[in-house]
Chains A and B, each alone.
Chain A
Amino acid sequence: MNFANYLLSRANNNSHPLIFSGVEQVSHNESYLIVNRLATSLVEKIGMGKTVLLLADNTTFFIVTYLAIIRSGNIVVPIDPKSPEKDILYFADICDFAIIFTQDKYSIKIHSMIPGIDIVTEKNYRSLSKEVSLLPETSDEDLAAIIFTSGSTGEKKGVMLSHGNLIENTASILEYLDLKATDRVCVVLPFFYCYGLSLLHTHIKAGGSVVLSNHPFIGGALRDIDKYECTGFAGVPSTFQILIARTKFLTEKLPTLRYFTQAGGKLPNKFIRMIAEAFPDKKFIVMYGATEATARMSYLPAEMCLSKIGSIGTGIPGVKLKVVTEGRDVQPGEVGEIIAAGKNIMQGYYMDPQGTDEVLVDGWYHTGDLGTVDEDGFIYVVGRSKNIIKCGGFRVSPYEIEGEICKIPEVEDVAVVGREDNILGEAIIAFIKSSTSDPAALQKTVQEFCRRMFPSHKIPQEIHILKELPLTSSSKVDREKLRCMVE
């Protein structure tokens, strides 16, 4: 079945609002009509089975074009509008986009980077609409989306998701969150990110609503929850940490809110406790996932939020999740790798069979996360076997940052590590080896260079200049020692 068809199966003639975006309100039925007309014109224009770049903020434009691309039997590639130029060029190079959908504010930049490809913007996409003709069917195995994520060595990995993957994960999330048409989620997570997309998918399918909360400061979401009478709110660790540190979140009433969900990394237990105790009448649901698993792999039922604090719970419906070491399941307390199997697991990495074989083994997805289980089978993440920093909910490869900083002439060597941070989840700390006579000037140079080169979540919060980097006995940079220096 086509995933967009699955999502919009009850949208026809449904006047219930689907999208709240500032003063704009769009119903399920209006979305259904726009999506089908746009999909018809896309089929006429580019056929099906082609890759289509979608580069936009969380807007009505994103939602309807995203659904139309999938409905037309083409493959949507949603990317971060703030991606650096080299990443966009890389995506364009390997994906060979047939057409590009973007907002006017990004179109000049995108046109200069990827010339010669038609660009459709929010100003002209409605004029593309055609009277709906018979739209192509797709099978569960056909690709619907490629979502890029950061690999542990800094390279971009295109996660290939089929219509079947997306349907399976959406149905499973709907089941355990028990979402209904009366549900309305306040969205602060970007739609180019699998967690943000899962909010969109589940609320379209449930017949509910999404409130696009686009403020410069996350505190604006608290106002939107009350203003739009939201029932759900989803965040990554830094979302909740910023709310706790910078707003009166814990003393808010939020009377319409039924639940919070949290994924995208480990929120320290003290914050989980604060939220659970501040909102005893609301559910706080900790979840665990990966783009490679479409989005979601496990959840901890809200009633166990405190009794099993720190756990990611157990597999969601339809997902087998276990912790293994040396080819066997771990004993309680023993550490191993978390692996998952289910119809939500990706088809592989785009144009990367070797990378795919490394993580998909005998039908199991190897997450690279280290975990343990307790006597009741609840899983706890204890670390990562891959060198990845989770800053502001984003996966950041230290190697990518190191590779760029190394291009600065005065930098002789560089090592980047993560440090627990009350706001960002993990902060990025860069240690630079240099014999410069003016460390302060070099620090400033590196800071300005990073601001030019990287999106905010990749910019080091601290830069330390050292004469030498500590080394292990095998002469590698001793990252553990560096972490200890800034703890």
Chain B
Amino acid sequence: MDQKDIDTIINIFSHIMGIPKNELNDSIAYNSHPAWDSLKHLQLISELETEFDIEFDMDDIIAMENFGLIRELTAKYL
């Protein structure tokens, strides 16, 4: 995964969750950030899959509980 891919993930995540890019960090998590709910999670997964032309395994989608894990688990497919 190169810097361009990382930037793409940041852009998609920031756009869907409504969190400014400069406020993003790896510890932003599903169970602590009010904007992150299951519908937004689904939308995030769909956009990442479309953008990178990949299909996540279910267990990876479940495990993406914070922004750091989203970057790490997406990298497995690139």
Contacts and interface: CB of A to CB of B under 8 A. Distances in A.
A174 interface: no
A455 B37 contact: yes
Contacts, number: 56
A40 B58 CA distance: 46
Contacts of A57: 31
A253 interface: no
B37 A217 contact: no
Contact of B42 (A82, A246, A451): A246
A215 interface: yes
Given A451-B18, A456-B40, A215 B58 contact: no
Interface residues of B, number: 19
Which 3 A-B pairs rank lowest in CB-CB distance, beginning with the nearest? A456-B39, A216-B41, A216-B30
24 contacts: A82-B34, A82-B37, A105-B34, A109-B34, A214-B31, A215-B30, A215-B38, A216-B36, A216-B41, A216-B62, A216-B64, A216-B65, A217-B38, A217-B41, A217-B45, A217-B58, A219-B58, A219-B62, A220-B62, A223-B62, A247-B58, A452-B18, A456-B38, A456-B40
B50 interface: no
B61 interface: yes
Contacts of A308: none
Interface of A: 57, 81-82, 105-106, 109, 214-220, 222-223, 242, 246-248, 392, 423-424, 448, 451-452, 455-457
Nearest to A392: B39
A360 to B, nearest CB: 33
Contacts of B62: 215-217, 219-220, 223
B32 interface: yes
B40 to A, nearest CB: 5
Contact of A456 (B30, B31, B37, B58): B37
B37 to A, nearest CB: 5
Contacts of B37: 82, 455-456
Contacts of A452: 18
A83 to B, nearest CB: 10
Given A217-B45, A246-B42, A456-B39, A448 B18 contact: yes
Contacts of B58: 217, 219, 222, 246-248
Most buried by A among B59, B62, B64: B62
B40 A106 contact: no
A222 B42 CA distance: 16
Nearest to B43: A456
A251 to B, nearest CB: 12
Contacts of B42: 217, 242, 246, 423
A186 B74 CA distance: 28
